[in-house]
Structure 1
Amino acid sequence: MNTKVTGKIANSVLFKITGGPYDGKYLRNIDLLWTDPLRSGPTALGTNKAPVGITVTRYVITNRDPIAVRSAATTHSKLVAYIPKGTALKGEYVNDDWFKITSGTHAGRYVSSALIYTTKAIADNNGVAKKADMCALPSWTQTAFGPTQPRFVACPAAKSFVEMNAAFRAAYGYDIKVEEAYRDLVTQKAYASFYGFPRAAVPGTSNHGLGTAIDLETIESAAMAGTPHRSDFGGPYDKWLTAHGKEYGWDRPSYLDKGLKTAEPWHYNFIG
């Protein structure tokens, strides 16, 4: 119990340990708590970032939604504006999670580092995430759909989600379940082929492919687990996240709201 092991998923049942006294041995996936420590500090800066304090130009990358501009380097600070995709921002990273804009209309304000890139083309960065930029959500987020498969999102989004879940759990007594998070390009192509547009985003454009979107537990996986379905409109997730999600940098896009043809009560984007 509580022994940390490193290795890889061997198949749908087993995990193979690599290194240490148990090198080459196997464990059941179901017996493991998946972790990928949520990092902090300049040494953890991902592949898309620059050293703290160095002035650089970055571009807002998102599917359709603008990203949040904050008065300080935290999602709890005032949301002062939105910036649309493709916008060039000049500024500097202040830590792993936040970028300070140093010129232009929003000089002195902050945006999440998870939402800006070295190029403005979303396809250049979509579905091809580097491990250094992604963090696994804790195992308690997992559902009956892929119950042992970690859900990855951009590290700043993972930190905000964990904090948000703590507040949600304090209100409701249980955790937010996540069906899907980051999707690679191959998976998005399969979804697009099966569901078609607009149910599935055009491959290379999905916020899932940036690690900045989550889909909450569906009615099917809730039924498989024998638990209530909580992500529908009017349900606990919808009510609480609509009221408090932006305080933690999460929001459901308006084009997915109730009553619309494209409605998806389960989908939320990280806006910073």
Structure 2
Amino acid sequence: MMKKRAASLALAGAVVLTLNGLSPTVSTARAATTTCSVVTLKYGASRHDLVKTLQSRLGGLTVDGYFGSGTLAKVKAFQTTRGLVADGIVGPMTWDLLGGFPGCTTITGYVMADSGAAGSKANIRSGPGLTYSIVGSYGPHAKVTGTRIGTGPWLHTSRGYVHKGTLETTTSNPSSINGRLSTSSLCKVSTSYNSPDTFDPDYTPKTQRYLNCDDQPYLKALEASYKAAFGHYAAIDLTYRDIDEQWYWYNKFGSPRAAYPGTSNHGYGLAVDFRETDQPGEEFGWGGVGQKWLSANAHRWGFASPFTYGTDGESYHFQFVG
């Protein structure tokens, strides 16, 4: 979305959750599990089999089944790497990023996309990876049930393979959580990707951005490749957008320039707006070197632009579709 530049501008806890894919209750943990109990582990835990699984997945530890200081340090390092709060508590989200809680392999989710937003879909691929061909797509709020492939992010469904980072698993109505996610259920985006600009509402070069945890590694890989090509990261203006901010932009620009609040792809932490300067020849404007590179390469990491080249659509907007 277009942004007016300003000259200046001055959970963690130990819990045991039983998650059901059909439950209307929003869980800030948002672990990709259905009808199975997720046991939270913390320092001093003596659930030997579970701790052994944890230690094996973390790697570099003696697999002794005891959650001691070495395991605690490894958990915190993993959480930091993935952008989670580094509290050392292995709850639903940490389990999910480690490959899922043991035994929770069948997952039911609903596509995090609303019919009022451009590019609302989740890709279906012929195999469990982004190098496989796209054979179809699931539309907004489509129910998707699949079996997790190993400990990775791909689900094998009746129609093909879907990335679970496109699915909401705690409610059958994704719109109910659009823009209402706690940042503790999202992952931090490296501030080294931040736009150098200050702009409304209340963004500075140091403002923390957030993204869906399953999708963040792909953004990191995209940014690394972009830096290798251009010598700097692809600067980001906006990522997750809460409901208040969605209303801000809607009141400022109206429809169709701004998605109606509660329908934006940004409200799920799936979309990224790269830097926009409102200047001729800008890096991510139509025909800009950054925009052309992203159009040609972003699909390698599961991101796509829903807008046709040269139209009034946002040249700098890309979203994760798997």
Choose from 78, 90, 104 the match for 2:133.
78
Q: Distance in 2 between matches of 1:133 and 1:71?
A: 30
User: Is the Cα–Cα contact under 8 Å of residues 110 and 174 in structure 2 kept in the other structure?
Assistant: no
Deviation at 1:199, TM superposition (A): 0.9
User: Is the Cα–Cα contact under 8 Å of residues 60 and 120 in structure 1 kept in the other structure?
Assistant: no
For these two proteins, the number of residue pairs brought into alignment is 228
User: Is the Cα–Cα contact under 8 Å of residues 219 and 229 in structure 1 kept in the other structure?
Assistant: yes
Q: Deviations over 1:232-261 (max 9, x none)?
A: 1111222111111111011100xx32343x
Instruction: Tell me whether 1:269 sits opposite 2:322 in the alignment.
Output: no
When residues 87 and 123 of structure 1 are mapped into structure 2, their CA distance, relative to the original with a 3 A threshold, is closer
Choose from 240, 247, 252 the match for 2:293.
240
Which consecutive unaligned segments of at least 5 residues does structure 2 have?
A: 1-8, 11-78, 85-89, 199-203
Q: Distance in 2 between matches of 1:234 and 1:57?
A: 40
Map residues 218-257 of structure 1 onto 2, 5 A cutoff.
218-219=276-277, 229-253=282-306, 256-257=307-308
Bigger-Rg structure (1/2) = 2
Q: Provide the TM-score with structure 1 as the length reference.
A: 0.73
Deviation at 1:229, TM superposition (A): 2.7
- Deviates further, 67-76 or 207-216: 67-76
Q: Percent sequence identity over matched residues?
A: 24
Instruction: Tell me whether 1:152 sits opposite 2:202 in the alignment.
Output: no
Q: Which residue does 1:209 correspond to in 2?
A: 267
Deviation at 1:43, TM superposition (A): 6.1
Q: Distance in 2 between matches of 1:186 and 1:95?
A: 38
Bigger relative CO (Cα 8 Å, ≥ 6 apart) = 2
Q: Deviations over 1:87-133 (max 9, x none)?
A: 2111244578624134x333xx2323343333342321201113343
Q: Distance in 1 between matches of 2:127 and 2:166?
A: 16
Q: Which residue does 1:118 correspond to in 2?
A: 170
1:90 maps to a residue whose letter is T
RMSD: 3.1
SS of aligned partner of 1:219: coil
Deviation at 1:85, TM superposition (A): 1.5
Q: Distance in 2 between matches of 1:196 and 1:110?
A: 33
Which consecutive unaligned segments of at least 5 residues does structure 1 have?
A: 1-11, 14-34
Instruction: Tell me whether 1:59 sits opposite 2:110 in the alignment.
Output: yes
Deviation at 1:50, TM superposition (A): 7.0
Q: Distance in 1 between matches of 2:173 and 2:125?
A: 24
Instruction: Tell me whether 1:89 sits opposite 2:144 in the alignment.
Output: yes
Choose from 21, 34, 38 the match for 2:82.
38
User: Is the Cα–Cα contact under 8 Å of residues 274 and 316 in structure 2 kept in the other structure?
Assistant: yes
User: Is the Cα–Cα contact under 8 Å of residues 178 and 262 in structure 2 kept in the other structure?
Assistant: yes
User: Is the Cα–Cα contact under 8 Å of residues 97 and 112 in structure 1 kept in the other structure?
Assistant: no
Q: Deviations over 1:206-227 (max 9, x none)?
A: 011100011111115x89xxxx
Q: Deviations over 1:160-186 (max 9, x none)?
A: 011011112222222100001101111
Q: Provide the TM-score with structure 2 as the length reference.
A: 0.62
